[in-house]
Every structure is written in C-alpha cells, then in structure tokens.
Amino acid sequence: MPTLPWTVPNDPPRATEVHVFASRFETRTLWGALKFLVRTPGVWRQVGSAPGVYGALLKAEPFKRTFWTLSAWESPEALKTFARSGTHAPASRGLSAQMRDSKYASWPASSDELPVSWAEVRRRLT
C-alpha cells in the first residue's frame, strides 16, 4: 500500500473556497512505519465517510519511514471534527511516540484546483 490515490468522497461545489491540509510524518524506526501502515486502513475508511471531506490521499514511503497526506475540507472545523473522532483520534495518539518529525500546512484554495500539486504540497511543508 505505498500510495492511496486521490479519493473524492464528496464532490465539492465548483469555484468554492476549500480548506486544504497537508502533512508529512517521519517515524523513528521501520517498526514505527509498520505501525503507521497497520492503522492506515481504519483511518482511510473514516475518511471515506467523513462529513465535509472533498478529497484525500496518502503517499507512503515506508522504507524511508515517511508518510505524506493531502486532504481538502469544507472548513477547518470539518477537519478538526474528523481528527478528533473515529479511528483517527486513537491512531494519532497511539503513533505519537513513533514520530521523529511531523510537519503540517493548511491553506485556502479553490475547489477547481483540487487536487493541488505535489510541488505545492512540498513547497508549503518546507
């Protein structure tokens, strides 16, 4: 499961401002990367039914111990509700000790620009 492609659970309205969120996680060890991968299916199922999500993807580089996420949301509140509920909340708490480095970025974008480019994601996370 190296990459879970851009998935659109809810079609965003055209020409609407959305909340884009990107993250980059690096685990301390390969064991930590494995733990991340084991928790991914449950969180991905949650994404598929989350209210307010317009799209999401996961790019996994497990042998580099690095994971990238990109998602688009109706609002920052919809993202916060997702992050604090369901499978995501205990998974993120359970993995915190495994993390060596984590970076986050969020910004407004037009729904017509989804999914945003990897160049833009990398620029915002550096």
The model's pLDDT over 65-113, given as tens digits with 9 standing for 90+, comes to: 999 999 999 999 999 999 999 999 999 999 999 999 999 999 999 999 9
Q: Which domains does the chain have, with CATH numbers?
A: 3-125 (3.30.70.100)
The model's pLDDT over 32-75, given as tens digits with 9 standing for 90+, comes to: 999 999 999 999 999 999 999 999 999 999 999 999 999 999 99
- Give which of 9, 72, 2, 69 is closest to 37, Cα–Cα: 2
The confidence score (pLDDT) of residue 65 equals: 97
pLDDT, mean of residues 2-24? 95
Run of H or E including 18: strand 17-27
* pLDDT value at 2 more than 80: no
This prediction has a pTM of 0.94
CA separation for the pair 4, 72 (Å, rounded) = 15
The band of 1, judged by pLDDT with boundaries at 50, 70 and 90, is low
